[in-house]
Structure 1
């Protein structure tokens, strides 16, 4: 799998720009909870992966770069089988894989897990 299969900062900015009907360069770096909720839904629709964020992990995503790290980790945890920039439904083929690693760049993510 190449980096092209994983979301990058430009793609996340593009998704956020659609939310506010604005240009990508006008999207602020800081994310509000409503923007993040919408962004997660958009990511799920495009990639067919649900990044399972508990409340603590959700609160840790404050910037565009934090979101990029969470989404990249979700794609990697799903085995890199996600489609890029296409509407796909469902979860990872293996039923979800857990990546419990966390570092200073972002929260831990569980991909493909069922949402309550």
Structure 2
């Protein structure tokens, strides 16, 4: 059975902790744009899925919980839990709109 809750808050905090070389419990709830950009790149690398974020949606992600919501939606849109996703950006589950949207975001 797939775990449609992935990624969860703990995993997102773990990703952010690696960015700041700190413990997960030391990660603040609010995200800056640099942290969010890095977090999106880390999510894409781990799951092989590019979240479909236009500029407005990107600006709306302000907290760790917002990021969890966006990432879960991306995993669900890709049709799975992301556990079997390849590490490159050409894996299954990507849609043309995800590719196009991801091209505009570093």
What range describes the TM-score normalised by the shorter chain of this pair?
0.7 to 0.9
Residues 104/25 of structure 1: CA separation in 2 closer, same or farther (3 Å cut) = farther
Greater share of strand residues, 1 or 2?
1
Kindly state the Cα deviation for residue 65 of structure 1 after the two structures are TM-superposed.
0.2
Structure 1 outlier segments of 4+, above 4 Å: 98-116
3-state SS of the aligned residue for 2:7?
A: coil
Residues 68/99 of structure 1: CA separation in 2 closer, same or farther (3 Å cut) = farther
Alignment check: 8 A CA contact 1:30 1:62 kept: yes
Point out which structure has higher relative CO (alpha carbons under 8 A, 6+ apart): 2
Greater share of helix residues, 1 or 2?
2
Output the TM-score relative to the length of structure 2.
Answer: 0.74
Cross-structure match for 1:115:
105
What is the distance in 2 between the residues matched to 1:66 and 1:103?
25
Counting matched residue pairs gives: 99
